[in-house]
Amino acid sequence: MKKATALFMAMALMVASLTGCGKSSEPTGNKDVATATKAPEAGSETNEVDNSGKTIYVIVKVLGNQYWSVLQAGAEQAGKDLGCNVVVVGTALESDIEGQLTLLQNAVSAQADGIVIAPLDSVSLDAPITEAYNSGIPVVLVDTVISSDNYSAAFLTNNVEAGKAAAEALIAQMRKAGVSETEEAQVAVQVGASGSQTINDRVKGFNEFWSANAPASWSVLNDDIKVNEGDISKAVGFCQDFITTYPKLKAVFGPNNGSTVGFVTGITEAKRTDISMVGFDFSAEIETMIRSGEYNTVSVVQRQYFMGYDGVKAALDLSNGKAVEEKKVDTGVIIVDKDNVDSEAVLSVINP
C-alpha cells in the first residue's frame, strides 16, 4: 500500500500544474507583500532577471483543499509576475506524511531551483527538509514550521497569537449568546493532525488566553480532543459525538479548515443555534454560517494567498543569490464575523 501511495504521488508530481510566466519590475519586499491588505496585481511588476529557466516546487498539505487552493493561487500568480515556472503538488490526506516525503524527494531529484513546502508534520519532516536545505536548495516553509531552524525562510501565521485571538473571540460570542458566567459550559476541540506545530500552537494560545480570561465554570475539553486527519466525514462525525456526549456543550473551536468545516456541518445539521463557534479560514461552509446570522460564529482568517506568493518570491530570490529581509515573517490574521464580512479589509483577504 505504501509503494502504491508513493507511486501515485510521483505520478501526481508529473501532472501537477506548471505555470510559466511574465516579467516583473523591482520586486516588493517580502514583509510588505506578506502584510498587505491588497493582493499583488497580475503583471504589475517587471522583472529585470530572466527567470524563465527557473522552477520552484510548491508542496502543499492537501491538493485541492479550499485553503490550500488559495495558497496555490498565490504561488502561481507569483510565477506569472516573476517569470518562473511553478509546480504545485500535494497529498490527498493530512495524515499522508510518507506521501509528502516522496514529493519532497522528487523535487530534490528534479534539481528544483527552490522548494516551498507546508510540512504535514513538524517533527517527521524535519530531517528530510534539513537534508534538502543542506543540499543547497533554498527551502521556504509556509503555514507550518519544522522543529529546527534548517530552512531558508518561512511565511506563516503567528499561531500562538492567532489561538489567543480565537479564544478571545469565542468568549465574546458566548457572552453574546447569553451564556451565564456562573453556569457550567463546555467547549469542544478537534484538530486535523496531532503532529502539526501550527495546530498545536493555536491550541496552546487558545488555552493560555482561555485560562487567564474565561469564567472558571467554562471549561475546554482538552482531555477529549479529536483528531480527524483532515477527513471531513470524520470531522462531522466527531462534532455529532460531542453534541451527543456533552449535554453542557456551549461552544466549539476548530483550529484548522477541515475541523472548522466538520463543526459547521455538524452544528447546522443538528440546528444547534445555541452552540457558539470559532473556526479558522474561510470555507464556503463557514461563510454560509456567518452570513446566515442564525449562529454565533466567527472565523480567524489567514493570509495564505500571500504565503504562497511570498514563498515563491523568496525561493526565487534566494536561487538568484539574494538574501531575505527576515527569516520568519508573520503574515497576520483577521477576525471575520457577520458585521465585517463584506468590508474592504476582509474582502481583500478572502478574495484576493
pLDDT of 182-230, one tens digit each?
A: 999 999 999 999 988 899 999 999 999 999 999 999 999 999 999 999 8
DSSP letters for 320-331: TT---S-SEEE-
Q: Residue 47's pLDDT is what? A: 58
Q: What is the 3-state secondary structure (H, E, C) of 153-191?
A: EEEECCHHHHHHHHHHHHHHHHHHCCCCCCCCEEEEEEE
Query: Do 2-157+303-332 and 159-302 show the same overall fold?
Result: yes
Domain layout of the chain by residue ranges: 2-157+303-332, 159-302
- Taking 70 as the threshold, does the pLDDT of residue 43 lie above it? no
Q: How, if at all, do strands 153-156 and 114-117 pair?
A: unpaired
Mean local confidence (pLDDT), 124-132 = 98
Mean local confidence (pLDDT), 262-273 = 98
pLDDT of 75-109, one tens digit each?
A: 999 999 999 999 999 999 888 999 999 999 999 99
Bin 102: left if φ > 0, else alpha if -120 < ψ < 50, else beta.
alpha
Predicted confidence band of residue 113 (pLDDT cuts 50, 70, 90):
very high
Q: Residue 44's pLDDT is what? A: 44
Measured between alpha carbons, how far is 24 from 133 in angstroms, rounded to an integer? 27
Q: Does domain 159-302 have CATH number 3.40.50.620?
A: no
- Taking 50 as the threshold, does the pLDDT of residue 31 lie above it? no
Beta pairing partners, 251? 187, 276
Least confident span in 18-32, 221-235, 296-310, 329-343: 18-32
pLDDT of 317-342, one tens digit each?
A: 999 999 999 999 999 999 999 999 99
CATH assignment, 2-157+303-332: 3.40.50.2300
Q: Residue 191's pLDDT is what? A: 98
